[in-house]
Structure 1
């Protein structure tokens, strides 16, 4: 009785399997014969979904040039060496060969090649000749693909101005960051066929070509940039200063012809990318403008009509007391014309003029010419100026502001 029942169940199971196989073959026949082209296209589409993939084609980043067209930054093709550990036939000799060519620690390389992932980077931005040596080993699962590496011919002379990109060629500092969208290219796309383990075996078609980023021309003159850098570095060293900055402007147009800082760094050597070196002090730090403000103080006095172009200021005896503070000149200049107050940079003469100007008038002129404002250069981290409100100005502060201190 038991055997008969078991035989019935076995027969029913075989019947069900036979029925399923019949339904499967019937469906295939319908798609290929009865449904004509539609069935064929359906089967082809299902097959394509399993083997066809879209790959990104990297685009070159736009060049950065100075006012004369000299290169300040450009991208050059390099190779990324990668592996599919699932397809790699692991052996120590192959690891030693790869490590030697790519200059990678063997233990680290072995760990990557033993990964269970389908994709691992072995080394980014490899010289094309080295990449070709790797490919010539003909190791299963080891491949190379094109990418771009950024180079900076001006090196440390323009590093704070130009900035740099990361390994993905995205702007991180300076002009590279401020104009990243403009400089970035538009990646292309192609369709490829991959095998069962995900490796590309054939290009099918180009879907979209890659477009290189736009060229960016700066007002900088690289020769003047180099000369300014050299002089600043010499001055910082001579005076044993911790840091220094210098900016050269075209007095007629306001264009920045040179911008340098110390300490600096060679942007082509990423080991030098330390905060103390990369800080763009000329744009990030606030500093007192000093005696360069004196012409604006005199302009405010002329505008307020408290002095005239032919006025004479008595600076005797070469000093002036304001509360418990004393402002002094290098010597007693005596009576000075307005022109001489500027040419001798007299603190006493400037102070006497400033105290005669209504505080609100002087502050208004300072604000009109841009003190205390944001310059809007577009550089990342640019500092905002500081100009205190005139209601808080005491006589000593009015004097200090007149020769560029406290703002």
Structure 2
């Protein structure tokens, strides 16, 4: 029994593991444990030690901070009508290194951009070593959409703003323009760029590996729009003045023209136009002359329009009563080496007659009786030879000479408007003193909340006398072409020879007229300058005066200024 049991069941113990097998086991287990330890260490490194760094690296490949474009402030006229506004546009750009090499895809992109494949490939080749290139800038959303719809790798769209000028060439030189980055480059856009420019915002977005927007996450900083600018300009007057000035330049075959209209009570610029002009919304083929706001930045010798201002200086000396008579015969006189002439021999003239006949002889004889340079001193007191202070870029200061020793010819020339230079704006501003009982008002291109007090630069009684004397100048017996039916006008014409390389030119002139209306309660002051009319006539009374009459008459009706000469208007109608 015991023998059978011993044969059916083995009671022997397994043989001990061989030394080589035991070592293999230990090595394998050690490797597994080491691997697990390294893996655990790496997990700790990634999720604990370097978690912040790695999270930032991951976000840098998916999260972006994009700028939010700021809306540039609007420019309006005094009544709130828009003169310059910013509209949303799209800018398309590309990473040349991400663009597909396939010609078919590039051909689709070229067609969507409105160009040809060769031009596109050439541009991509030029920027091949860079990561940024513009495809097209400042497109309307509708123009950019065909490119966006391609969803092509390496092509991106960015929101921007583009400046638009509803009034076009009518206000071009005054407003100026912005560049492709919507920053002011000329005119008031440049002068008030920091005020008009907004502050861009920031937003966090999620993008895929190709840089395409997946989702807006949050706004980090809101965009701050620029400030709105309200000008003193009245758009209605600006349009009307521009139309009339353009017609006058064409009719007289002139090289250019400028007009400034001021509010006589505040000094605000109600209209400022120039010819030639340009369209700021489409600058292709523009005339470079049209870029200049001649009314502010250009100066010239004004001629006889200075006589009322010079006469005010003479009257203030007390040496010349209003009934003073000057013999201007024989219509010419020699001073130093120069001959001064009147248009005709006017004989004996009163002070009012000197203005009405625009006598150079009369002004010269009065001025040469004085021992002090009262005329140039008065010009400076009226702001001539100084910047007007409007803040417009490049505004001209003009020049009033101040030699150490005055010659008689210099002294005389200043009294009839030669030997100095002024801009149309300076000239209009100087005449505010005559319109306001001797108080000069500083000109303003911005709408004023309250008018300036002004500065007393002419004695009030003298200013009033000058206004009445100028009223006599514009009449059927004087400068009849400046008459505005139903309204009284105080004005003065001027005709000044232009200078060239060899001095004064024989057949090149500037025709001017300055008018204040209505005389009973001055409302507007208007300066008209026609540069080098070549159609025949060139005198200010024949060329600039009728332009003034049309513009001033329309302006008074637009401003709803009641007529103050209805009796004369009725008398003229009865004669017809």
Measured against the shorter chain, the TM-score band is: 0.7 to 0.9
Query: 1:172: how far off?
Result: 0.6
Q: Which of residues 218, 234, 257 in structure 2 aligns to 1:244? A: 257
The number of equivalent residue pairs is 386
Equivalent residues of 1:298, 1:353 under 8 A apart = no
Q: Which residue in 1 is equivalent to 2:106?
A: 95
Q: Is 2:221 aligned against 1:173?
A: no
Range 65-74 or range 78-87, more displaced: 78-87
For 2:38 and 2:77, locate their aligned partners in 1 and report how far apart those are by CA, in whole Å: 73
Distance change >3 Å, CA 306–CA 248, structure 1 → 2: same
Q: Which residue in 2 is equivalent to 1:378?
A: 391
Distance change >3 Å, CA 167–CA 20, structure 1 → 2: farther
Query: 1:29: how far off?
Result: 1.2
Q: Which of residues 220, 230, 233 in structure 2 aligns to 1:217? A: 230
For 1:297 and 1:390, locate their aligned partners in 2 and report how far apart those are by CA, in whole Å: 18
How do 1:49-60 residues align onto structure 2 when only pairs under 5 Å count? 49-60=60-71
Distance change >3 Å, CA 334–CA 284, structure 1 → 2: same
Equivalent residues of 2:156, 2:212 under 8 A apart = no
Distance change >3 Å, CA 46–CA 140, structure 1 → 2: closer
Q: Is 2:55 aligned against 1:44?
A: yes
Query: 1:56: how far off?
Result: 0.8
Distance change >3 Å, CA 238–CA 30, structure 1 → 2: closer
Q: Which residue in 1 is equivalent to 2:325?
A: 312
Q: Which of residues 60, 77, 96 in structure 1 aligns to 2:88? A: 77
Equivalent residues of 1:267, 1:273 under 8 A apart = no
**Which has the greater radius of gyration?**
2
Q: Which residue in 2 is equivalent to 1:150?
A: 163
Q: Which of residues 29, 39, 42 in structure 1 aligns to 2:44? A: 29
SS at match of 1:326: strand
Q: Is 2:373 aligned against 1:360?
A: yes
Query: 1:341: how far off?
Result: 1.6
For 2:307 and 2:166, locate their aligned partners in 1 and report how far apart those are by CA, in whole Å: 40
Distance change >3 Å, CA 200–CA 24, structure 1 → 2: farther
Q: Can you give the 5+ residue segments of structure 2 that lack an aligned partner in the other structure?
A: 1-32, 421-576
Range 198-207 or range 124-133, more displaced: 198-207
For 1:24 and 1:227, locate their aligned partners in 2 and report how far apart those are by CA, in whole Å: 84
SS at match of 1:406: coil
For 2:237 and 2:66, locate their aligned partners in 1 and report how far apart those are by CA, in whole Å: 45
For 1:21 and 1:289, locate their aligned partners in 2 and report how far apart those are by CA, in whole Å: 97
Equivalent residues of 1:112, 1:122 under 8 A apart = no
Range 157-166 or range 282-291, more displaced: 282-291
Equivalent residues of 1:83, 1:113 under 8 A apart = no
Equivalent residues of 2:100, 2:106 under 8 A apart = no
SS at match of 2:344: coil
Deviation readout 1:179-208 (Å, 9 max, x if unpaired): 111111111111123444555443221101
Q: Which residue in 1 is equivalent to 2:240?
A: 227
For 2:332 and 2:39, locate their aligned partners in 1 and report how far apart those are by CA, in whole Å: 107
SS at match of 2:70: coil
Q: Which residue in 2 is equivalent to 1:163?
A: 176
For 1:24 and 1:309, locate their aligned partners in 2 and report how far apart those are by CA, in whole Å: 111
Equivalent residues of 2:90, 2:144 under 8 A apart = yes
Equivalent residues of 2:153, 2:210 under 8 A apart = no
Q: Compute the TM-score of the two structures, normalised by the length of structure 2.
A: 0.63
Deviation readout 1:241-294 (Å, 9 max, x if unpaired): 222222122222221111122221111112134533212222222211221211
Query: 1:350: how far off?
Result: 1.1
For 1:243 and 1:312, locate their aligned partners in 2 and report how far apart those are by CA, in whole Å: 39
Q: Which of residues 336, 340, 360 in structure 2 aligns to 1:323? A: 336
Range 137-146 or range 63-72, more displaced: 137-146
Equivalent residues of 1:265, 1:272 under 8 A apart = no
Equivalent residues of 2:333, 2:340 under 8 A apart = yes
Equivalent residues of 1:81, 1:144 under 8 A apart = yes
RMSD: 2.5
For 1:69 and 1:327, locate their aligned partners in 2 and report how far apart those are by CA, in whole Å: 51
SS at match of 2:373: helix
Q: Which residue in 2 is equivalent to 1:7?
A: none
Deviation readout 1:113-149 (Å, 9 max, x if unpaired): 4534333211001121122222222322222221111
For 1:119 and 1:51, locate their aligned partners in 2 and report how far apart those are by CA, in whole Å: 19
Equivalent residues of 2:71, 2:225 under 8 A apart = yes
